[in-house]
Amino acid sequence: MKKSLKIMLLAALAATLTGCASGKAPEKTQETTAAATAKSEAGTYTIGVAQFAEHGSLDNCREGFLQGLAAEGIEEGKNLTVLYENAQADGGTASQIVNNFLAKKTDLICAIATPMAQAAYGGAKKVNVPVIFTAVTDPVAAALAKEDGTPVGEITGTSDKLPVEKQLEMIRKILPDAKKIGILYSTSEVNSETAIKEYKAAAANYGFEIVEGAVTSTADISLATDSLLEKVDCLNNLTDNTVVSSLPLILDKAGKKKHTGIRQ
């Protein structure tokens, strides 16, 4: 029996929950019309998997997504063709990837991380190609969901919102004398701007001050890290894809300065 893209969407949602260590599902969203009715005439499918950056947590999301599809009988090499691209934390490249997938008539796009999801939906909505997203901190702020959690269009997915209060509580226990927490973030990632605001709002409750280090690309991270380490007692990492892709460099610098690097 041929499987519809409705099944693919449901499988994908289940997969992102198991594939992303920090993933948390939002409230169940409505199933899109296109997803419920679209079928490939040959009973095979082509999915574009677009990943914004290359690091372990996003790799886990991709692998979990494909594992979930396989569990539903949609398996690469049998009835599934997967087109995989990585934007290497570049917004322009993300848009090019989406355009390439649409030109190749993909049945569905799986977009991993907020900037990739925004690019995917921005292009796919013009031709009614459904999008699954994962590793998105705030779907509402990213304009991927309405205030009530329902989809803005042919798109659905899961959120990996951070437990900010628990993070601050943990840092206070590990570093009882710390006063200033440094956080590097990319100005192009709305997910990071949302998280920064939440950290700032809660920091005073734990006796902390948040010191920001803004970057526009991975090229800025080395100098921004050096500058931030001079001002803070420890570093805390958001789910910022640009920053996480350079995490080994950041942790090395923090280690040499004898600062603690708290990973999400």
83: tokens are 């087109």
**Tens digits of residue pLDDT in 162-199:** 899 999 999 999 999 999 999 999 988 888 888 899 99
pLDDT at 259: 62
Give me the sign of the Cα torsion angle 108, 113, 117, 120.
negative
- Pick 141 or 12 by higher pLDDT: 141
Under a CB-based contact definition with an 8 Å cutoff, are residues 164 and 43 in contact?
no
**Tens digits of residue pLDDT in 128-173:** 999 999 999 889 999 999 999 899 999 999 988 889 999 999 999 9
For the chain, helix (H) and strand (E) counts, in that order, are 10, 9
Residue 85 Cα distances to 46, 111, 112, angstroms: 14, 10, 11
Closest to 238 measured CA to CA, from 200, 169, 201, 192: 192
Q: Is 206 exposed, middle or buried, given 0-12, 13-18 or 19+ CB atoms closer than 10 A?
A: middle
**Tens digits of residue pLDDT in 194-217:** 889 999 999 999 999 999 999 998
- Pick 72 or 23 by higher pLDDT: 72
Delineate the domains of the chain, giving CATH numbers in brackets.
Answer: 5-159 (3.40.50.2300), 164-262 (3.40.50.2300)
